[in-house]
Chain A
Amino acid sequence: MQSILKRTMFYILFIGIWEGLFRLGIWPEYVLPSPVSVFKTLVHGFQNHTFLIGIAISMKRIAIGYGISIVVGIFLGLLIGRVRLFEETLGSFFTGLQTLPTICWLPLSLLWFGLNDRSIIFLVFMGAVLSITIATDAGVKSVPSLYIRAAKTMGAKGWKLYLEVIIPAALPHIITGMKQGWSFAWRSLMAGELLIVCLGLGHLMMIGRELNDMSQVIAVMIVIIIIGILVDRLFFVKVEQRIRERWGLVKG
């Protein structure tokens, strides 16, 4: 209760100072718009559907790119985690690649796919895939051999052993990797949309810039922050916690 009160006070104060600075009139409106006009732009943007369309387009891109990265990442993680040869080769290669900021894939992506959707999707994919691969690898390695032996005596072998035992047993790690992968993917999506002109939330911000409409820029920033919080806090953190509890990794 205390903390909610403090937080509310903080935001009221924050907006108050912002409004105060605006009223002082030191900066022109395209540098510092008032909170009210930002709020109006926000409402207006949702009313005329431009924000909704922007969100839909961005979400579609991340769904495709992130979806592919989950499948590929888990597959590669299993390979590295279970096959010595891949561990010794691909393993270190991927750990090295992960130090490369995702946006550095942009020039390559542009040359491969051109200035279009697929380029952005590739960036999203590259943003998430390494995190998921590395987390799956760690998860597979931490699967208790007891589970595998128990499953084997009950007749599990081949791909069924992977599907029924190894992947579910590694799930707490995989989810953590997916959570991290999501935040990387979200960042690369925005970077891609800012640099490649083809709709989406990032593009809406660029339109704001071109029209000298700072309130639109800030309004879209707020939308991006809110989506980030919704997915990370309300989805991933909850799911992660539930799984860890059920897998007996935290004492309930």
Chain B
Amino acid sequence: MTESVGTENFVDIDQVKVGKELQASQRVNGVWPKLRVQHVSKSFQSKDRNFYVLEDINLEIQQGEFVCIVGPSGCGKTTLLNIVAGLEKADSGDVWADDHKINGAGTDRVVIFQEAALFPWLNVVKNVEFGLKLKGFNGKERRNIAIEYLKMVHLSKFQHAQVHELSGGMKQRVAIARALAMNPEMLLMDEPFSALDAQTRWILHYELQNIWLKTRKTILFVTHNIREAVCLADRIIILSTAPGKIKKEFLVELPRPRDDNDVNVAGYSTRIMKELKAEINKVMKCEMDADSCVECDIKCTTEGPAKTDIGGGI
């Protein structure tokens, strides 16, 4: 693919336009979007005042779409994902899955967390069976399904291993198998690969894309790594910080499976970076200027590495 084609495919959606579209059409071809986030706001109480983490988030995800949410550390990505998952309540606004309003956690939206969250008292295959057991599958059925998904992440040999015997990357793959085994409508992934080394991450990016091509699940994937987002997503949503707002959207139209180190992926990342530079500078400046406040200073230094990560990708 030449660079010019790549540039042509680089579609930049204006946030205002997205907002308008959302109000105009709720249904595309008579089908509900898989997920609709409408005017969601969320604040947390801190000492005497409450500060907004998310402000008027509007978002629509179609069946089978792979969407990445990107934003600096602390901008409210996890909070947004938790609200979609039903693990946290929004202050205002609604979240709809298909035609029903989300009210609490549900097995149609399974979350994969930053840490694998495998249960150490169960072995690998029993971890994968966990949700199936709750769904009422009998022993043999759920064992078969679990093995099938363990094969998909190439870990069927480790089915009887204990959790503490696995590496970080293997744990995360088991977590993916466990989520997929539930056959959910939607996968919600919260920086699932950020604790892994670059090489393992590279492998899992490849595997996740293949799984997605095979299953065509709707995926909402949170990351602060632009390169990762370009590598995985059909659509990238950029959140700004304090309060988290949807800043911009980008469509990525590159053939799959993509490679982190592919020239086009790198090119896209650089372009998005340029667009974001202004925003990041703004945030930096705002925080640096507030140096009279010690608390802000600490916040600045702790958030430092995350910003470099956005700059560098991997």
Contact = CB atoms under 8 A, between A and B. Distances in A.
A152 B105 CA distance: 6
Interface in A149-196: 149-156, 160, 164-165, 168-169, 171
7 contacts: A146-B117, A147-B119, A150-B111, A154-B178, A155-B131, A246-B162, A248-B163
A28 interface: no
A77 to B, nearest CB: 18
Given A147-B119, A153-B105, 13 more contacts: A146-B115, A149-B111, A149-B113, A149-B117, A154-B130, A155-B131, A155-B134, A155-B135, A160-B134, A168-B119, A245-B164, A246-B121, A247-B121
B36 interface: no
Q: Select the residue from A150, A155, A156, A169 with max chain B CB neighbours within 10 A.
A: A150
B119 A169 contact: yes
A96 interface: no
Interface size class of A (residues with CB under 8 A): 20 to 34
B107 interface: yes
A171 B163 CA distance: 16
A252 interface: yes
A63 B215 CA distance: 53
Given A149-B87, A149-B111, A152-B105, A168 B131 contact: no
B121 A154 contact: no
Interface string B163-204: 110000000000000100010000010000000000000000
A108 to B, nearest CB: 39
Nearest to A168: B121
Contacts of A247: 120-121, 164
B105 A246 contact: no
A171 B121 CA distance: 9
B85 interface: yes
Contacts of A171: 121
User: Which 7 A/B pairs are nearest by Cβ-Cβ distance?
Assistant: A154-B131, A150-B117, A168-B121, A155-B107, A152-B105, A153-B111, A155-B134
Nearest to A251: B164
A137 B49 CA distance: 33
A164 B113 CA distance: 19
A215 to B, nearest CB: 48
A150 B113 contact: yes
A183 B121 CA distance: 26
B109 interface: yes
Contacts of B86: 153
B265 interface: no
Interface in B51-89: 82, 85-87
Given A146-B115, A252-B164, A154 B120 contact: no
A146 B195 CA distance: 16
A245 B164 CA distance: 8
B134 A156 contact: yes
Given A164-B130, A171-B121, A154 B87 contact: no
B110 interface: yes
A151 to B, nearest CB: 8
Contacts of A168: 119, 121
A165 B119 contact: yes
A97 B83 CA distance: 43
Interface in B83-115: 85-87, 105-107, 109-111, 113, 115
A168 B86 CA distance: 24
A240 to B, nearest CB: 14
Contacts of B110: 153-154
